[in-house]
Chain A
């Protein structure tokens, strides 16, 4: 383990083994990488922003069907996944902290914990997708069909009467609107899941390198940058969850 003041040494000597030739010192290299990550995340915000815009406009235009379609997604799993993801953000933050202090084993431990929680999230997501597949709610499949149904408590969600549910299930216009909801549901959560998969693809080699002692208190920028990325992906979910899962769950309010 490298002592804390060797970082200071490395910063000023200019001969740190991880210093790339075109930077003057480690500080410049670190600042460049972390600014690069922030700029990249700004770009990501615009990418997801386009999807959020589409979703919000259609949700405003087609609110009743969006509310009914939203009720068909199981909020339990979404809520659980939110907890899992927040948990993974905590372990990621701990990983960055360990890296800063140069603690190798805790770093590896927290990275693995993050990896596992990310995997759990994707597993639950896959289960949810499978449920949608069984319910014929996958856009692009010939058997796509949406029938609003009463929720598990037996009451009718969103003030939908059985007659109206019947109408929705036969009216092509309502079916088209439901198709838009599920399209956006799959594309938005799918794009998010894709970012998780990319993250997992990055974290696995990172764990190996961390185990080999590649990172210490004088060089941990990759961990820090990956942390930024991971937190960003979490935050996207924090917005996705209420927008997609929690439409009009409590119709008696308001």
Chain B
């Protein structure tokens, strides 16, 4: 491989592609091309990520001192609430599906577009309406309920803009329902001739599983949060114990979506990792069918474990044990995937390109995040850990250490396909390293803090916790640099990046069989698939100029 890479390849950009086929703001805002919509989403979610990140930065700065001197305690409540709302509903849920998924699903199945291009555009508009309403909620004065909107605080007592925030989330949810619907139909009905289910890239399988959760989970949280808003406006009593309502019922209904939603936030990342690990090991993914079905298993089990969020909320011990058991079962498909990725690397021809560095980061951090999840699934331990920093660290290891790592890895990997140009490898490697170090420094101390009893969502803490909090804040600053760097060099690469050519990684998969960037209709003619996925031929090795 190395010898091939030394021959400097000279590619030229294709004369006509989806970016230059039409100009002007109208051609973007009225586009039905999934690739353009993916870019619209990319810009939007990056914007919301920046806002959520800004909130996170302020939280970490505030916690530098035990008394918390940056903002008032009320404002601190708003900060962590808005950080959660922005990151969960406006970044993590749409991140990989709406950007990489939107861009890649039709390419990977060999179609000209998603099944419903207009609905795809509609989903972006709905998303932006939701995002604008949520931004308005921030500007108008914020929300302080936590992103979980627990009643009756959210429906009765909070004096903040709860209803506005809920309206924003309702829109965002509707948008992700439409995205999921589009993906499911596309996978069923738009596959190229010869592309059987078991020839699909594993990314498609994971997006399919994600879409199922989006379709079946989101409507439940939509109606639940709508009821909270109605209860707040009309002083009803559905979830208000003072009026005969049941607040724990709210928690059940909220987590019925929001626990599966955390699998919306990790399954796409798993799909990305499957693609990356194969390409940079030059080997077929080990145990293809197991990896494919484990995505579906996670989606199905995901709907049966919501109760583990309520172990301390008043639940019968039998229900708690059952939920605990099923939560443990989720570890099985997750472990199958992790072992399969490791086995894929075994005796592979591994190259340490930036996307692969993110794969390594993902594997380590996902293992820690996943295994600490088992701590929390155990009823006895959870009573000790519930609502502590241990939980915060756990889910950040999955959401940030897992999903954001995979998202960045995927962006680097498909960047040449999306833009036709390579990112600067040295800078990218450096920022991957910074992200990894910064992330661990931010969140590992939080495991210890949580174990020692530091509750989450507190604006102040006992002085003996300060060292760990300072470490965490220092890590967050490093992490912020790691996230800023890609934003800069990705933009830089649009003009100065090396021209990539159709298949810089010598990867399998239909998306690499067309030009970079692809032209409007993706393929010159509908591809016909005659072989299984992830078969690396000598021809592909010759194409792999950047590996």
Contact = CB atoms under 8 A, between A and B. Distances in A.
A60 B95 CA distance: 41
A80 interface: no
A47 B234 CA distance: 21
B244 interface: yes
Nearest to A35: B185
A176 B189 contact: no
A51 interface: yes
B111 A22 contact: yes
Contact of A47 (B111, B223, B256): B223
A49 B236 CA distance: 20
B184 interface: yes
A40 B181 contact: yes
A183 B237 contact: yes
B148 interface: no
B230 A179 contact: no
B219 A46 contact: yes
B112 A21 contact: yes
B220 interface: yes
21 contacts: A22-B111, A22-B115, A22-B117, A28-B189, A28-B190, A31-B189, A32-B188, A42-B215, A43-B177, A46-B216, A46-B219, A47-B219, A53-B253, A54-B238, A54-B249, A58-B246, A140-B234, A140-B236, A180-B237, A183-B237, A183-B238
B235 interface: yes
B72 interface: no
Interface string A166-192: 000000010011011001100100000
B327 interface: no
B190 A32 contact: yes
Nearest to B112: A22
Contacts of A183: 230, 236-238
B526 A180 contact: no
A9 interface: no
A183 B238 CA distance: 8
- Pairs A-B, 8 closest by C-beta atoms: A140-B234, A47-B219, A176-B244, A22-B112, A22-B113, A50-B223, A32-B189, A46-B219
Nearest to B522: A22
Given A35-B189, A180-B238, A187 B181 contact: no
Interface string A4-19: 0000000000000000
B116 interface: yes
Contacts of A35: 184-185, 188-189
Chain A contact residues: helix, strand, loop or mixed: helix
Interface string B251-295: 001001000000000000000000000000000000000000000
A57 B215 contact: no
Nearest to B34: A22
Contacts of B215: 39, 42-43, 46
Nearest to B181: A39
Contacts of B177: 43
A36 B115 contact: yes
Given A46-B217, A46-B219, A179-B237, A36 B245 contact: no
A5 to B, nearest CB: 25
Given A43-B219, A46-B217, A139-B236, 6 more contacts: A22-B190, A32-B185, A43-B218, A46-B220, A140-B234, A140-B235
A43 B113 contact: no
Contact of B244 (A32, A44, A46, A180): A180
B510 to A, nearest CB: 15
Interface string A198-231: 0000000000000000000000000000000000
A122 to B, nearest CB: 21
B222 interface: yes
A184 B253 CA distance: 16
Interface in B226-246: 227, 230, 233-238, 243-246
Interface of A: 20-22, 24, 28, 31-32, 35-36, 39-40, 42-44, 46-47, 49-51, 53-54, 57-58, 61-62, 139-140, 173, 176-177, 179-180, 183-184, 187
Given A32-B190, A54-B253, A180-B245, A39 B219 contact: no
Contacts of B388: none
Given A140-B236, A176-B237, A179-B244, A50 B220 contact: yes
Interface residues of B, number: 42
Given A32-B185, A47-B220, A62-B244, A179 B249 contact: no
A31 to B, nearest CB: 5
Interface in B432-459: none
A160 to B, nearest CB: 19
Contacts of B324: none
B221 to A, nearest CB: 8
Contacts of B117: 20, 22
A21 B32 CA distance: 11
B81 interface: no
A179 B243 contact: yes
B123 interface: no
Interface string B176-189: 01000110110011
A47 B244 contact: no
A35 B184 CA distance: 9
B244 A39 contact: no
Contacts of B151: none
Nearest to A178: B244
A61 B245 CA distance: 10
Interface in B172-217: 177, 181-182, 184-185, 188-190, 215-217
B77 interface: no
Given A22-B111, A31-B189, A50-B253, A36 B181 contact: yes
A21 B112 CA distance: 8
B224 interface: yes
Contacts of A36: 115-116, 181-182, 185
B78 to A, nearest CB: 28
A50 B114 CA distance: 30
Nearest to B215: A43
B236 A179 contact: yes
Nearest to A42: B215
A139 B235 CA distance: 8
A50 B238 CA distance: 13
A31 B189 CA distance: 7
Nearest to B186: A32
A226 to B, nearest CB: 16
Contacts of A28: 189-190
A57 B113 CA distance: 44
A46 B233 CA distance: 24
Nearest to A141: B234
A239 to B, nearest CB: 15
A246 to B, nearest CB: 22
A51 B116 CA distance: 29
Nearest to B240: A176
A173 B219 contact: no
